[in-house]
C-alpha cells in the first residue's frame, strides 16, 4: 500500500518552475503527454552524460554540467515533465533497490510515470534513461516482486510503501 508522507528532503530538487527547466521544457514539448515523455528522455540521452560518481542533484546544475548519476537524471526528467504540465499524480522519481542489495551501496533511481494516475495496481512505466534506455511497463505490485521501493516523489507529493 502507498503511504503518503508530508515531506522528503528530495522533493526540494524537483523544480519545474526554475527558468533553466522551463526554457528547456518549452523547447522539447510534444503534441501530447506520450510525445513529451519521449522527447524528454531522448533529449537527456543525447545531451547528458551518465556519471555514476556525480553528486549534483539540482536540475540546473545537471543541465550546466551536462552529466549526472541516475538519481540526478531522474530528478531532471521529473522536473521537466512537471514543467510540461504532467499532473503530480502521474510523474515521479522512484528510488528502489533490487531485492537482496545492500541499501547503503546499491540505491537506484529512475523515472516513474503513471499514465492513469498513481496506484499500486495501476499501469506504471518505469523508465531508466541513462546509461541506457530501459522501459518496463508494469504495476508497482509487480515491481515489488523483484525490487524494494524506498520512496516515490515529485515536487508536490511523496509516497513510501507501507
Tens digit of pLDDT at every position of the chain (162 positions): 889 998 888 999 999 999 999 999 999 999 999 999 999 999 999 999 999 999 999 999 999 999 999 999 999 999 999 999 999 999 999 998 877 776 656 568 999 999 999 999 999 999 999 988 899 999 999 999 988 888 999 999 999 987
CA-CA distances (angstroms) from residue 31 to 14, 39, 91, 114, 149?
23, 10, 18, 18, 32
Q: In the prediction, which pLDDT does 19 show?
A: 98
Instruction: Judge contact between 147 and 98, C-beta under 8 A.
Output: yes
Choose among 36, 133, 46: nearest CA to 82.
36
Q: What angle do CA 14, 19, 21 make, to 5 degrees?
A: 45
Q: In the prediction, which pLDDT does 51 show?
A: 95
Instruction: Judge contact between 109 and 119, C-beta under 8 A.
Output: no
Q: In the prediction, which pLDDT does 1 show?
A: 83
Q: In the prediction, which pLDDT does 71 show?
A: 93
Query: What pTM was computed for the model?
Result: 0.94
Task: Say how many C-beta atoms besides its own lie within 10 A of residue 146's C-beta.
Answer: 11
CATH class of the region 2-161: alpha beta
Cα separation of the two ends of the chain: 5
Task: Say how many C-beta atoms besides its own lie within 10 A of residue 55's C-beta.
Answer: 10
Amino acid at each position: 500500500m502507498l503511504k503518503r508522507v508530508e515531506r522528503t528532503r528530495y522533493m526540494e530538487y524537483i523544480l519545474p518552475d526554475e527558468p533553466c527547466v522551463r526554457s528547456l521544457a518549452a523547447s522539447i514539448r510534444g503534441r501530447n503527454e506520450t510525445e513529451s515523455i519521449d522527447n524528454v528522455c531522448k533529449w537527456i540521452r543525447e545531451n547528458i552524460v551518465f556519471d555514476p560518481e556525480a553528486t549534483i542533484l539540482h536540475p540546473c546544475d545537471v543541465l550546466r554540467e551536462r552529466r549526472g548519476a541516475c538519481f540526478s537524471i531522474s530528478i531532471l526528467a521529473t522536473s521537466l515533465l512537471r514543467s510540461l504540465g504532467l499532473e503530480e499524480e502521474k510523474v515521479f522519481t522512484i528510488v528502489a533497490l533490487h531485492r537482496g542489495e545492500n541499501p547503503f551501496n546499491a540505491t537506484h533511481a529512475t523515472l516513474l510515470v503513471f499514465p492513469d494516475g498513481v496506484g499500486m495496481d495501476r499501469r506504471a512505466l518505469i523508465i531508466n534513461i541513462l546509461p541506457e534506455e530501459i522501459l518496463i511497463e508494469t504495476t508497482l505490485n509487480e515491481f515489488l516482486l523483484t525490487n524494494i521501493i524506498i520512496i516515490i516523489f515529485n515536487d508536490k507529493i511523496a509516497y513510501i510503501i507501507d
